[in-house]
Amino acid sequence: MRRLNLLLSFLLIFFMSSLASTQILTFKHSLELEDAVGDIREDNDDIGKDVIKVTINSDGKNLHITAVLKEKISYYLEKCKAGPVITLHFDTDNDTTTGGKTVLGKKLGFEYEVGLMACIKYKDGGIACVGSIGAPIEGYASSFRTKKYKQGEKFPETIRWSTDAPHRDIEENVVETTFSYTEIAVTSGKSVRIAIREDDSTFDEKSFFPEVVLTLK
């Protein structure tokens, strides 16, 4: 009987842990999510941008996305690569049977993907939002890249490149951008499911923040 009770206790703990890991958080108008320090991967020419907090705010017309890094942006980009900091996957109809599947994590039902980009500005006027040109650096800027999922397609299609989107100077360790509701075809009052991935984290489910449903202002 004691062994049976121990087994039942173990199964209950396992069930509750699984439930917690799949729980969707709900927010109205804005949200803030924190992330563990040091959960990034590194390679020979990129130390990885370590995100410690993400916020999303809606104002009735626009979404404002902010990612806070552990260190100043120069620490990550001065001798490394520009690129996405976080990627947000938007399920705009709250239906997992429509839209596409994320490449990593295999999450279902998303219509749009928006990448918050950390770009390098060069003294010759050039800018790199992916990789590095290797020229003298003038500063750093944020941008975004938008992709649209099509049902049955393996990869989403890029509909706005980061070089064509508005750029904003990055101050210290805060990377932020703003885009219109029309960018992801949503309207005020809509509830949207969002899966957020830390791009320089691991290549598995652990790289995602908990899924959220945000009701837009």
| Stretches in the chain below the pLDDT threshold 50 | 4-21
pLDDT in tens, 48-87: 899 999 999 999 999 999 999 999 999 999 877 899 999 9
- Spatial neighbors of 66 by CB under 8 A, at least 6 apart, are 53, 54, 55, 56, 57, 174, 175, 176
Closest Cα partner for 143 from 111, 191, 183, 186? 183
| Residue that has been written with the tokens 């750029």 in this structure | 167
Burial string for 116-138 (b: 16+ CB within 10 Å, else e) reads bbbbbbbeeeebbbbebeeeebe
Instruction: Indicate the pTM of the whole model.
Output: 0.87
